[in-house]
Chains A and B, each alone.
Chain A
Amino acid sequence: MKIDSQDRQGVRILSPKGKITIGEGDIALREAVQTALEDGARNMVINLEGTSTIDSSGIGELVSAFTSVKNRGGALKLVHLPPKVHDILQITQLVTVFEVYDNEDEALASFN
């Protein structure tokens, strides 16, 4: 899985392309979040538009990322949830944890 990374308005935006699943995408996402934190990024957005599949390990990695960013005084928000990813966040009740936005602009505006 490939993860595009860019900074906009001081926010690190990560855009995974492919599957966030055990042994593959989950590790790539963990490394991308760790790199962002080491780079000093405080706030992050994960754009899930290109995420084709997510399993329990992938969900676990999103939760870990949320906690890591929050523990450093920042916030992690999600945008462009594909329907099946949205369904999983609902089933796991994590929609009550994550701030979810329709697009990156809305997510970025929410940090102000």
Chain B
Amino acid sequence: MRRDDPHVHLELGSRLENIDLAQMVVEECLRRLELDEDTSHWVGIAVREAVANAIKHGNQEDPDKEVEVDFGVDGDELVIQVTDHGSGFELTQVNDPLAPENLLRPNGRGIFFMKSFMDAIDYNFDPEAGTRVTLRKRLTAPASGSADEEEER
């Protein structure tokens, strides 16, 4: 990955161990973009949740179905897309994990984590192309960045 062309594309089999791999690759990309450690951690967790959902719910852990992860920068925004081969779901049917009746449910927090740790998430459901979640995070200027670099942001 180059600093001026940070796009990375991953194609992962639907195995749970690949969740760690996706998180590690994304965190390494963020390190090269000189994001602070905390931000990198939370973005890494959000990606982890997106890939976990894609493997478990989208591809039903079918190892022959791939999950694609695309990492890139669009202007001053980090953009990460995770695509699976699932038929999608109804976003309005996703329970609010903060509702008192859901607080002690053991699952259903993945999308909530993504929303909490990113600036925006969008889902796109396509019967043929599958389900794609797009995670966005504004980039902050690196601490060691030059004035010129900061102006570019």
Distance between Cα atoms of A63 and B109 in the complex (Å): 12
A94 in the interface, Cβ–Cβ < 8 Å?
Answer: yes
Contacts of B107 in A (CB 8 A): 56-57, 60
Q: Please judge, given known A-B contacts A55-B45, A56-B49, whether A93 and B113 are in contact too, CB under 8 Å.
A: no
Mark out the residues of chain A between 56 and 112 whose CB falls within 8 Å of any chain B CB in the assembled complex.
56-57, 59-61, 63-64, 66-67, 84, 91-94, 96-97
Residue of B nearest to A59 (CB): B109
B33 in the interface, Cβ–Cβ < 8 Å?
Answer: no
B52 in the interface, Cβ–Cβ < 8 Å?
Answer: yes
Contacts of B48 in A (CB 8 A): 21-22, 55
Distance between Cα atoms of A60 and B20 in the complex (Å): 18
Flag A35-72 by CB within 8 Å of B: 1 or 0 each: 00000000000000000010111011101101100000
Residue of A nearest to B45 (CB): A55
How many B residues touch A, CB cutoff 8 Å? 22
Residue of A nearest to B109 (CB): A56
Mark out the residues of chain B between 99 and 121 whose CB falls within 8 Å of any chain A CB in the assembled complex.
103-107, 109-110, 112-113, 116
Q: List 19 A-B contacts (CB under 8 A).
A: A21-B48, A22-B19, A22-B52, A23-B16, A55-B49, A56-B49, A56-B52, A56-B107, A56-B109, A57-B52, A59-B109, A60-B106, A60-B107, A67-B104, A84-B41, A92-B98, A92-B112, A97-B103, A97-B104
Interface positions of A (Cβ within 8 A of B): 21-24, 53, 55-57, 59-61, 63-64, 66-67, 84, 91-94, 96-97
